[in-house]
């Protein structure tokens, strides 16, 4: 297993630890900070694995499949936890997770037809905004500036989620043409 795939696997392994520290009541307020560090490390592996894979020509089928799946698992796990902590409205998380299911379905249909669908810049912006949103909401700093900033990023993430979905469908609608 090459380094990018190890980083992707490491990101998946970090998810239950992130969830545990974010939700466990045992840490007298420090759980958020431990979870935050874990989330940031996991997010950095997302950046590093792709950069290393492209730079050193280490792109594999495992990486093509697992990297986006690891991102989805990380962000969706975080958002679901943040619903439980009453830091983000459930309907927004439902929209975000629904987009991920729709795109995954598109990718399965495309793969079945031998078509590889590349990630778009809108999708990359969406993921980055979601990661920043999660960081702000995990921090949970109770002052006006951070509250407003967190709310702004929630809605930026929501808008980018919808825009990236529309862009993805528009660019890949031919995948569905043969599915009648």
CATH of the domain at 126: 1.20.120.1760
- Residues 137 and 82 sit within 8 Å (Cβ to Cβ): yes
Written as six digits, the tokens of 5 are: 């795939």
pLDDT tens, 11-20? 999 999 999 9
Q: How far apart are CA 70 and CA 101, in angstroms?
A: 14
Q: Is the pLDDT of residue 62 over 80?
A: yes
Confidence band for 68, pLDDT divided at 50, 70 and 90 = confident
* Length, in residues, of the chain: 180
Q: Where does residue 79 fall: left (phi above 0), alpha (psi -120 to 50 degrees), or beta otherwise?
A: alpha
The long-range contacts involving 166-169, CB below 8 angstroms and separated by at least 24 positions, are 167/120, 167/122, 167/123, 168/103, 168/106, 168/117, 168/120, 168/122, 168/123, 169/102, 169/106
Domain that holds residue 55: 3-175
Residue 180 within a domain: no
> In this predicted model, which residue has the larger pLDDT, 12 or 108?
12
Q: Is the pLDDT of residue 104 over 60?
A: yes
Domain count, the chain: 1
Residue 61 within a domain: yes
pLDDT at 180: 57
Residue 67 within a domain: yes
Residue 21 within a domain: yes
Q: Is the pLDDT of residue 79 over 90?
A: yes
Average pLDDT over residues 39-54: 93
Q: Is the pLDDT of residue 166 over 60?
A: yes
- Residues 133 and 171 sit within 8 Å (Cβ to Cβ): no
Helix (H) / strand (E) element for 165: namely: helix 144-171
Residues 6+ apart with CB under 8 A from 95: 158, 161, 162
């Amino acid at each position: 297993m090459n380094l990018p795939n190890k980083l992707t696997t490491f990101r998946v392994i970090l998810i239950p630890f992130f969830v545990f520290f974010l939700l466990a009541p045992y840490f007298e307020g420090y759980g958020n900070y431990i979870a935050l560090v874990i989330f940031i490390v996991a997010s950095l592996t997302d950046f590093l694995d792709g950069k290393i894979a492209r730079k050193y020509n280490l792109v594999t089928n495992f990486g093509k499949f697992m990297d986006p799946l690891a991102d989805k698992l990380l962000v969706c796990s975080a958002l679901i936890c943040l619903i439980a902590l009453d830091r983000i409205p459930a309907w927004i998380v439902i929209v975000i997770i629904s987009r991920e299911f729709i795109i995954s379905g598109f990718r399965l249909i495309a793969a079945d037809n031998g078509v590889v669908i590349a990630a778009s810049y809108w999708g990359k912006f969406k993921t980055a905004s979601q990661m920043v949103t999660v960081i702000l909401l995990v921090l949970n700093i109770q002052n006006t500036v951070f509250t407003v900033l967190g709310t702004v990023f929630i809605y930026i993430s929501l808008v980018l989620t919808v825009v990236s979905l529309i862009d993805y469908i528009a660019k890949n609608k031919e995948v569905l043409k043969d599915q009648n």
